Amino acid sequence: MNALQFIETSIAEGIGYIFLNRPKQLNALNRKMVREIVSTMEEFDRDPQVKVILLSGNGKAFSAGADIDEMVNDDPISMELTNQFADWDRISLVKKPVIGAVKSFVFGGGFELALSCDFLIAASDTQFSFPEVTLGVMPGAGGTQRLTKLVGKTKALEWILTAERIKAKTALQYGFINKIVAPELLMEESIDFARKIAMQPRWQ
């Protein structure tokens, strides 16, 4: 594995862990971090030791979205050409189940990343939002389609065009998360959930 700068990874009891690791920036996603997340997921997908992948964030928040400092000199054309979020499509090719354990801010690219997971377990303080519209752009990593598929066009369009902060309870009501847990139990409950999946018999 190449040296990882912006995420922490480990493997234990069939679970491959990925922790976003820019806590001071609320795990804002820079381009290198995105590449690290995707390549680690692909490595875990190939690794027979790993049965299930658990993705979370160090510090207070899951992720406050794309790194605004990195985007500040971008214009719409260069953003389109860089297309950093195209990498998210590679996550959907990962065959092993991916569980997202999310908390506090799950914004923008962080929300897109969460929606790329197969399961979401959310701390009760979680807020999901697409603030892109307040910056004059649209979610660019498939989140518009993933959210629409999960909750239908009516609510998805409303949330995307208003940047509303969606509380965990509302997310559960609309069925795009699996469960809500107390913040202090997020990892414990997520690991329990991951173990249930990891222990099932399977090929390989």
Is residue 107 near ligand DAK by the rule CB under 6 A? yes
Angstrom distance (rounded) from CA 3 to CA 95: 24
Tell me which of 61, 132, 142, 171 is the catalytic residue.
132
Please report how the helices 153-162 and 143-151 are oriented relative to each other, as an axis angle in degrees rounded to 10: 140
Tell me which of 65, 109, 110, 143 is the catalytic residue.
109
Stretch that binds ligand DAK, among 10-18, 42-50, 77-85, 175-183 (CB under 6 A): 77-85
Stretch that binds ligand DAK, among 8-16, 78-86, 168-176, 178-186 (CB under 6 A): 78-86
Residues of this chain, 37-56, that bind ligand DAK according to CB under 6 A: none
The number of residues in the chain equals 204
Residues of this chain, 144-203, that bind ligand DAK according to CB under 6 A: none
The answer to whether 194 is a known catalytic residue is no
Q: Which residues pair with 122 in a beta bridge?
A: 102, 180
Cβ neighbour number for residue 112 with a 10 Å cutoff = 27
- Closer residue to ligand DAK in complex, CB, 86/93: 86
For the stretch 129-139, what's the b/e string if a residue is b when 16 or more beta carbons lie within 10 angstroms of its beta carbon? bbbbeeeebeb
- Closer residue to ligand DAK in complex, CB, 104/193: 104
In this structure, what DSSP letter does residue 3 have? Answer: P
Catalytic residues, which ones? 66, 109, 112, 132
